[in-house]
Amino acid sequence: MPQLKLSYFDFHGGRAEPIRLALAIGGVAFEDHRFTFPEFAEVRKTVPFGQVPVLHVDGVLVTQSDAMLRYAGKLAGLYPTDAYQALLCDEVAYVVEEAGVKLGPSFSMKGDEQKAARVALVNGSMPVYLGWLQSQLHAHGGEYFADHRLTVADLKVFVDVRGLNSGRLDHVPTDLVEKVAPALNAHMRRVAQHPAVAAYYAKFGVK
């Protein structure tokens, strides 16, 4: 196995969390390098595009979270080997990533500006992508998004839904997912009950 070091903010969410989960589920050893938000000012000087997460693979620095997630999925046996199922897996992951890109600018906003931006998303694109994800879940059996089993696509959606439900996003109602796409909450609970996922969060004392 390669020597892996994954660097990201010290919280249970965001773009690195699905990668952490995939590696943990697969029993793939990695250095889980975490830093605080104030420390990011220095970290960003050392990484491509000033963005995280980044992954060191045998000392080689790699960027782009979805590429890392696919790689982690392959190492962990959580990425489809069938080309069509891999396509479905990637499709879901990229939709979630695009939703995150739309939300991203609001993190640097404050006050009324942030409220207006997020309310616009809650009333606009968020229900659209959540509804699409729910329809895809139903279309592929109702339990998982691709390959009739847990894949990195499920982990990507799981982390996203947990974030929307968490209350950490000001001006995003914590019942948005339940109102728009309740099957995604059922999916979130299903993934959370996976023994390796439960063990991962228990290690940190996170429910």
**Average pLDDT of the chain to the nearest whole number:** 96
What is the pLDDT, as a whole number, of residue 206?
81
With a cut of 90, say whether residue 112 has pLDDT above it: yes
Percent of the chain topping pLDDT 70: 100
CATH 3.40.30.10 domain span(s) along the chain? 4-78
Q: What CATH code is assigned to 4-78?
A: 3.40.30.10
The beta strand positions in 109-175, using DSSP E, are: none
Dist CA 115 CA 110 (whole Å): 8
Residue found by looking up tokens 């249970």 in the block: 12
> Under the phi-then-psi rule, with left for phi > 0, alpha for psi from -120 to 50, and beta for the rest, what region is 88?
alpha
- Is the CB of residue 96 less than 8 Å from the CB of residue 156? yes
| Confidence band for 61, pLDDT divided at 50, 70 and 90 | very high
Q: Kindly report, residue by residue over 182-192, the tens digit of the pLDDT.
A: 999 999 999 99
pLDDT of residue 1: 83
Q: What is the average pLDDT across 7-11?
A: 96
CATH 1.20.1050.10 intervals, the chain: 83-193
| 196 pLDDT more than 80 | yes
Average pLDDT over residues 53-77: 98
Q: Is the pLDDT of residue 207 over 80?
A: no
Contact 69, 152 (CB under 8 A): yes
**Cβ within 8 Å of residue 17, ≥6 positions away:** 159
Class (C level, CATH) for 83-193: mainly alpha
Tokens encoding 99: 């939703």
Tens-place pLDDT, residues 157-178:
999 999 999 999 999 999 999 9
Quickly state the pLDDT bin for 98 (edges 50, 70, 90).
very high
pLDDT score of 205 = 86
Per-residue model confidence as pLDDT tens digits over 126-166:
999 999 999 999 999 999 999 999 999 999 999 999 999 99
